[in-house]
Amino acid sequence: MHLLVFGRNGQVGHELQRRLPSGVTVTALDRSTVDITRRDDVARAIAAAGCNVVVNAAAHTAVDQAESEPEAAFAANADGPAFMAEACAAGGLPLIHISTDYVFDGSKVGAYTEDDPTAPLGVYGNSKAAGEQAVRERLPEHVIVRTSWVFSAHGKNFVKTMLRLGTERDALRIVADQTGCPTAAADIAHAVLAIARQVADRPAGTPWGTYHYCGAERTTWHGFAQAVFDLRQELTGQPNPRLDAIRTEDYPTPTRRPMNSEMDCRRIAQAFGIVAPNWRRSLSEVMHELLNTPTRS
């Protein structure tokens, strides 16, 4: 099986390249090799790849920045997926497209299911919702994977920000009233690879559509930060900074965040046999890598 991956330098794209099983090869592209906001560039890249499955892990993910540059956000998050879906339809290829919890407004009590209506709060969420719809309209043979609170040892993410700030300050103010499920980029990569194996030949009865995939066990940003520093202390002996729990209104940002990002992942387990591990286990692996400490045998 040969994959074409857009977004090679993102967290998920990076992990996809690191974790290829035997018999799977990849062509991974970034913005220096193809501009996903240009239809012809995308079509040429897909036609030339000789792949079985296309994976879109590329996105404009600067959530707050998107508010001041909506054209760029929609070009990457809506137009890009549309062009990929068109080219996949022309080439008879399936597309796996990574999306986000930000398509929801976070007002639901309980975990979001794939059937819940979307209601984005800002430009980023609206652009990602538009990208999902563009894929659905252009390519029946797609799998959209919504995920949340992505972290890894690569790129920009909450875990790395906490570790940096924890060396600079004795106390940190962390939002404690937003709930979600952290998800390791490596786990997303494993899920994408598992889906790709099952859809590569487009077998009859393939359960195309939209799925949720995130780490097991909900928490808050404050709880996530506490887990990060507890692991750091365990691995290095460094004392924890004081973590002051604050409300969302105490930490204003250009974009409103969903207060509840928990997603129900039963459908992806039923359709593809994929069950997300507890994020704490995955966090331990990432922390070992970031802190360069040996993992337990």
CA-nearest of 162, 174, 180 to 257 is 180
Buried b (16+ CB within 10 A) or exposed e, 18-55: eeeeeebebbbbeeeebbbbebeebbebbeebebbbbb
Catalytic residue among 102, 112, 124, 211: 124
Strands 219-220 and 179-180: antiparallel
112 is catalytic: no
Tokens of 205: 């009865």
Which one-letter amino acid corresponds to residue 162? M
CA-nearest of 1, 71, 15, 83 to 45 is 83
Which residues are the active-site residues?
Answer: 124
